């Protein structure tokens, strides 16, 4: 993957959540990895009114851009798409966690249950 310049990143981050979702799916399937943030306690979480969520990003640059303020000790970590399908989907379901796809700085992003997220990934993979 080529490095994204700051202007391109800002344009993508500031786009509507549906556009970020589409960008996320294409990038993840193309690069075969999903990015999360971790700290000494494990995976970073976001909370909505209804759900506890694991935020995911399409690449390292976007995940690292989130590692500021209270999250400045966090590290971007990639998870292979195969590992996501084989372990993370069922693990998140077992823990009753949702996924928030490519949240912006206002913590807004599409929230999906793990099986819905897996379905969308698989659908995108079939398009390739």
What are the tokens at 42?
Answer: 């494990």
CB neighbour list of residue 119: distance below 8 Å, 6 or more residues apart: none
With beta carbons less than 8 A apart as the criterion, state whether 9 and 65 touch: yes
List CB contacts of 123: < 8 A, sequence separation 6 or more.
none
pLDDT digits (tens, 9 = 90+) for 4-34: 788 888 899 899 999 999 999 999 999 999 9
The residue among 1, 18, 7, 117 whose CA lies nearest residue 60 is 1
The CATH number fitting domain 35-126, selected from 2.60.40, 3.40.1840, 3.40.220, 3.40.1350 = 3.40.1350
Reported as a pLDDT band with limits 50, 70 and 90, residue 3 is low
Instruction: Answer yes or no: is pLDDT of 120 > 50.
Output: yes
Q: How far apart are CA 28 and CA 80, in angstroms?
A: 9
| pTM of the shown model | 0.92
C-alpha 16/C-alpha 91 separation (Å) is: 29
pLDDT, average across residues 75-88: 96
The mean per-residue pLDDT over the stretch 114-120 comes to: 97
Q: What is the mean pLDDT of the chain?
A: 92
């Amino acid at each position: 993957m080529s490095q994204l310049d700051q202007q391109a990143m800002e344009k993508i981050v500031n786009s509507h959540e549906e556009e970020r979702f589409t960008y996320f799916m294409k990038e993840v399937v193309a690069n075969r990895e999903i990015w999360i943030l971790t700290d000494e306690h494990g995976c970073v979480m976001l909370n909505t009114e209804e759900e506890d969520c694991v935020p995911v990003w399409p690449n390292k640059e976007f995940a690292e851009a989130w590692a500021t303020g209270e999250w400045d000790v966090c590290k971007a970590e990639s998870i292979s798409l195969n590992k996501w399908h084989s372990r993370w989907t069922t693990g998140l379901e077992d823990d009753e966690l949702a996924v928030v796809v490519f949240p912006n700085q206002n913590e807004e992003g599409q929230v999906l249950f793990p099986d819905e997220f897996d379905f969308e990934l698989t659908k995108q993979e079939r398009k390739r």
